[in-house]
Amino acid sequence: MVKWNKYVQIENKPQMVAAGVEKAMIAAAQKNPKVIAVLEDMGFPGIGWFTKNVPLQMVEVGIAEQNGAGVAAGLAAEGFIPVINSFVFAALGRAYNQVRQSILVDRFNVKIIGREGVWGETGISHNTVEGVASARVLPNLVILNPSDAVEAEKATEAMMQYIGPVLLRQESSPPSIRIFADDYPFDIGKAFFLKDGKDAAIIATGYMLTEAVRAMDLFEKEGLDVALVNMCTLKPLDKEAIIRAAQMTGAIVTAENASIIGGLGEGVAAILAENYPVPLERVGVDDEFSQSGKITPEKDELKEHFRLDAKDLVAAVKKCIAKKEKLAKNRK
């Protein structure tokens, strides 16, 4: 049996990250009339509740994301807490300069919830993978990427309490499993060790934590002791946790449902190279656009194509351990 941290409570039932976001968003809007839902014709977490209970706390800007970002900034300048909800490619990608100039330059308290990830039937336009990389270079922006509904709820709550711009990346397809217990402590900027280990460490974010949890059983069978770290905050990255994982294991594998260029993998690579160089493997999308793909319990075409399965994590970990051993041999 895998020895988990006490705050881990795995239930192998599908769970939508969106459910957690919705719960926390309703609670935030109920508590604070300054919370304003900025709709970009893409719905909103808890839209039914909003319409029924707090219609004034909603503003529909239509399919005009650039204007949406500007209006949100203007609302924030007047003390409101606007929350934009859309796909990352629209809310951030389409309005990239508006987010930079109107929101981030003055560090306005605007929250952006953006759906992203390689999975889904929607195809190349909507299944984007470049959002994290394009957002990480923007100063003043905090990026969160929760991995299950429990964490999503806590991350959304933390986002609404934090004063400043936040991008909450919501990977909605396929559903994750439940990973965290209800009393799981969440903090912006803090990584969480689900499990310690000595052979290698997986640093995963978002949906890939589900695959990493599944991989843990495979490691157990093979007699490998692999640590597992959840990196919900993609900016600022938890440097201490990354170094700790490197010191603990000497081999790091990152896993993300996003491009490995400029994403979690590169962030971790930079921190390791500067502070504690150890072999690294990055699992994610390698310089490629996504496309449509069928997801059924038996077969997941996109997972197979992009090699984002638990099996692929196992292969990456083995490759990384081999690198580590080769390095040790060369040193001798």
Partner 1 sequence: MAHRDDLIRELEDKADKIRQNCFDIFASTQMGHVGGTMSLIEIITAMYFHHIKFDPKNFDWPERDRVVLSKAHCCEVIYAALVELGVYPRETLKTYYCFGSPFQGHADRWCTPGIDFSGGSLGQGLSFAAGMAYAEKLKTAMNPPGIEQGFLPRYIIRYNPVYRTYAILGDGECQEGQTWEAAMFASKYKLDNLIAIVDYNKFSLDGPTNDILPIEPFAKKWEAFGWWVTEIDGHDMRQIVDALDLTSRLYGDNKPKCIIAHTVKGYGITNWEAAHMHLGRGEHVMKGVQEGRKKYGKVE
Binding region for partner 1 (CB under 8 A): 33-34, 36, 56, 59, 61-62, 64, 66-67, 69-80, 82, 97-98, 100-102, 105-107
Cα 58–62–68 angle (5° rounding)? 75
Least distance in angstroms from the C-beta of 64 to partner 1: 4
Least distance in angstroms from the C-beta of 114 to partner 1: 19
Whole-number Å distance between alpha carbons of 169 and 187: 16
Which residue blocks in the chain are alpha helix, DSSP H?
17-31, 47-53, 65-77, 88, 96-98, 131-136, 149-161, 208-222, 239-249, 264-275, 301-306, 310-331
Nearer to partner 1 among residue 107 and residue 305 (C-beta): 107
Count the helices and strands in the chain (H runs, E runs).
12, 14
Nearer to partner 1 among residue 73 and residue 160 (C-beta): 73
CA distances from 136 to 166, 168, 226, 251, 287 (A): 11, 12, 28, 24, 17
Nearer to partner 1 among residue 26 and residue 246 (C-beta): 26
Nearer to partner 1 among residue 61 and residue 253 (C-beta): 61
Least distance in angstroms from the C-beta of 295 to partner 1: 35
Least distance in angstroms from the C-beta of 74 to partner 1: 2
Nearer to partner 1 among residue 62 and residue 277 (C-beta): 62
Whole-number Å distance between alpha carbons of 234 and 323: 26
Least distance in angstroms from the C-beta of 75 to partner 1: 5
